[in-house]
């Protein structure tokens, strides 16, 4: 009867027989060093890293997404999604835009002109309700 590396084989193992313990250890070691197992593990790690990088790119942090995805897999994806975006925010609509854009991709405002306005003029625009302040 061939030994298998299973929990049932471990449960039925006679721990007082050193030859049986060594035989099961050898079978389990061979199973863990099987190349096909490592191909699957490496493939899944690469796939998780790519998904993490894509999710991180939406936040402007693709490298962190790649690292978190490779290290933690789907848990890393959650970490990336919950992280703060590093992309600059539009002064008008406050939505993130990739660096270097001339116009906001959400509201279309000229980003350079909107950023050049003073904070007081932006504050006045935010508080304006259509009537003059009293």
For the stretch 94-106, pLDDT in tens is 787 777 778 888 8
Q: Does residue 126 carry a pLDDT above 60?
A: no
pTM confidence score: 0.58
Q: What is the C-alpha to C-alpha distance for residues 63 and 117, in angstroms, rounded to an integer?
A: 33
Mean pLDDT of all residues belonging to the chain: 84
Nearest CA to 83 out of 46, 104, 106, 55 is that of 55
pLDDT band at 68 (very low <50, low <70, confident <90, very high): very high
Mean pLDDT of the region 57-64: 87
Mean pLDDT of the region 13-25: 92
Chain-centre distance for alpha carbon 69: 4
Give the pLDDT score at 118.
Answer: 58
């Amino acid at each position: 009867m061939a030994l298998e590396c299973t929990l049932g084989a471990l449960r039925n193992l006679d721990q007082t027989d050193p030859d049986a313990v060594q035989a099961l250890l050898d079978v389990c070691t061979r199973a863990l060093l099987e190349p096909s197992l490592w191909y699957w593990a490496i493939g899944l790690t690469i796939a998780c890293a790519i998904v993490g990088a894509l999710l991180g790119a939406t936040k402007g942090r693709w490298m962190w997404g790649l690292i978190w995805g490779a290290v933690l897999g789907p848990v890393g994806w959650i970490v990336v999604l919950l992280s703060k975006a590093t992309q600059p925010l539009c002064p008008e609509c406050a939505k993130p835009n990739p660096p270097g854009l001339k116009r906001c991709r959400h509201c279309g405002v000229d980003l350079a002109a909107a950023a050049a306005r003073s904070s007081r003029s932006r504050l006045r625009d935010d508080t304006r309700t259509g009537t003059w302040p009293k």
